[in-house]
Chains A and B, each alone.
Chain A
Amino acid sequence: MNLPNITLISYGYFGKDLLEKTAEAVILEFQCSVNLIEGHLDLSEYYDPARRQYNGNSMLKLVDSLSFPDSLKILGLFDVDLFIPILTFIFGQAFLGGRTGIASLYRLSNERYGMIRDDRLLLDRFCKEVIHELGHTFGLKHCQNPICVMRSSTYVEDIDQKNQHLCHNCRAELELLLE
């Protein structure tokens, strides 16, 4: 059986290690192959000076317009602060049951909250966000299980409460959706 391919395309500075480890987590969770590539883009046209943030809706559309014919899913990875018009910020978003999602590292680091830098925790949070958004692209909705990666998280502390994996129910649903 050919493994499905997922493209993770990064825009900004992440550190090589973080992206590779994130890709490993994605491979493990979705039993897929991952195409990790570096994208180059002037993000200034997505910047909203009034909010001093980047428009997540436009960036999602941008990533969706990219052509990766061999990839089942594409996730854009950013290091800037994302918003959507109705919300003050987002960690990421995706087309439910679609092909594309985006996730940002920006609000995941401890330093933003006055806490001590913790690279391991940052990686853990980022992996969860990436897997969560990819889960949406596969058609998975938010899950009530408190430790499932598909649990909705609106604060980083919420992300820390869940683990990196799909719960039994979401795993079963994913298998059904992939059939």
Chain B
Amino acid sequence: MAKKISILIVDDEESVRDSLYNWFLEDGFRVAYAENASKALTILESDQFDIILADIKMPGMDGLEMLRRIKALKPDSIVIVMTAFATVDTAVKALKDGAYDYVTKPFDPDDLTHLIRNATKQISLADENESLRKKVSSLENVEDLIGNSVAMKNVLREIESVAQTNSSVIITGESGTGKELVARAIHANSPRKFFPFVSVHCGALTESLLESELFGHEKGAFTGAMYNRKGRFEMADSGSIFLDEIATISTKMQVELLRVLESKTFMRVGGNKEISSDFRVICATNKDLKSMVEKGTFREDLFYRLNVVNIQIPPLRDRKDDIPLLVTYFIKKYCTSMNKPTAAIDPAALKRLQEFNFPGNIRELENMIERAIVVGNGKRIALKDLPLEKSFVSSSTESLDDFEKAFVLQILNKYNWNISRTAKALKVDRVTLYNKIKKYDLKLADQHG
């Protein structure tokens, strides 16, 4: 947080003061409290607070009177009033007198978080000055996006420029290239970074589950729904929602999604209250959405709404210069997590890695390094620790696709076309393997061809 926000809690109940004090302390705020209005006013004479959270009913001076005095003293103060029994009259009175908002005790933790986040947002907007408005000169929180290659630098540049906007983004790239990391980096460098980044793997959910995941449901919406369940769009309020494998959603969901993107409002399943949410959409796919639009399997209007900015992540084979950096990074990462001293890598092993084409991209390289650290001697990663088939190290003049096709086919044949075992051996998921089979039109008969 750029500025430490301060909160003054005013309540005559000790348990309320203590609970709120601990809650806000854990959130990293500067917190103080007073047990009555006159003590609060005394504190405010000598100290400044960004947010004042005050009970309405207190012995002596009540919260509304205190609100009026605070507003006379510091008109810009954000005062939130708490009531045990909300009545329209008191709420209207408080708001008329300049309260920022009011809440009924006890509150839902989520409501409290949202209330404070919104107040914080207002404070940061008010405090915004030229230096804050300046474009960020360096990207933050991109610790897993490794690479010095021209291709990767271009991606980082695109992240930097798109992060500051609210535009929808589609990230394209093969499986394992790090699409979610790019999405996270966009969010982490955007003005929305203090709000949630919510990711949804559309491909992993059936249509009805996706609906419940995205929109949430109300308590009692169906048997067993004992509590309200918040949908992903609602969770992403003021933040970003990442829809992975967007190409897999059904045509019905495409219509629903388009409607939500246009109105930014929706209802929970079983609910009748319209909920609005201010989210930014970032999508990812390894499919060619444009050709899906041409074939009529993806809605054109949705495509154009989503595809305001397109970031293409290059496959690892097109940025082999980055392999040594990535290897060093993964060695450090896994040695640290396994509580081992950082291992070195033999030059021959590194050379072999640089020659390999990595059909599973960075995810495959990462798995390979993790495995090498597990099976190796712990000090040096040698060639024998790497599961690389020598015959498939690229030195031929064939195209990369020819190479990948032959490699996938060899492993499929090796495992008698058992998809699970082949996918495991290739260190890719089953969907990726199916995609490869489809892409290269591989058939069981090919083993004889």
By a beta-carbon cutoff of 8 Å, the part of chain A in contact with chain B is 31, 57, 83-90, 93-96, 107, 111-115, 136, 141-142, 144-147, 152, 154-155, 157-158, 161, 168
Contacts and interface: CB of A to CB of B under 8 A. Distances in A.
Given A57-B18, A158-B196, A161-B198, 5 more contacts: A86-B16, A87-B23, A87-B107, A88-B106, A114-B229
A144 B109 CA distance: 17
18 contacts: A83-B106, A85-B13, A85-B15, A86-B106, A87-B23, A93-B22, A96-B22, A113-B225, A114-B226, A141-B28, A142-B27, A145-B141, A146-B187, A152-B27, A152-B113, A154-B108, A161-B235, A168-B143
Contacts of B1: 144
B57 interface: no
A112 B184 contact: no
Contact of B19 (A87, A94, A96): A87
Interface in B123-166: 141, 143
Interface stretch (B87-95, B215-223, B344-352, B404-412): B215-223
B253 interface: no
Contacts of B113: 152, 154
Contact of B230 (A87, A107, A157): A157
Contacts of B223: 114
Interface in B348-376: none
B60 interface: no
B47 interface: no
B18 A88 contact: no
Interface in B80-115: 105-110, 112-113
A89 B225 contact: no
Nearest to B236: A161
Interface in B147-199: 184, 187-188, 193-194, 196-199
Q: Which of B143, B188, B223, B224 has the most chain A CB within a 10 Å cutoff? A: B224
A107 B228 CA distance: 11
Contact of B106 (A57, A85, A107, A114): A85
Given A86-B19, A87-B108, A113 B227 contact: yes
A84 B143 CA distance: 37
B26 A142 contact: yes
A115 B223 CA distance: 10
A157 B20 contact: no
Interface in B15-49: 15-16, 18-20, 22-23, 25-28
A113 B231 CA distance: 12
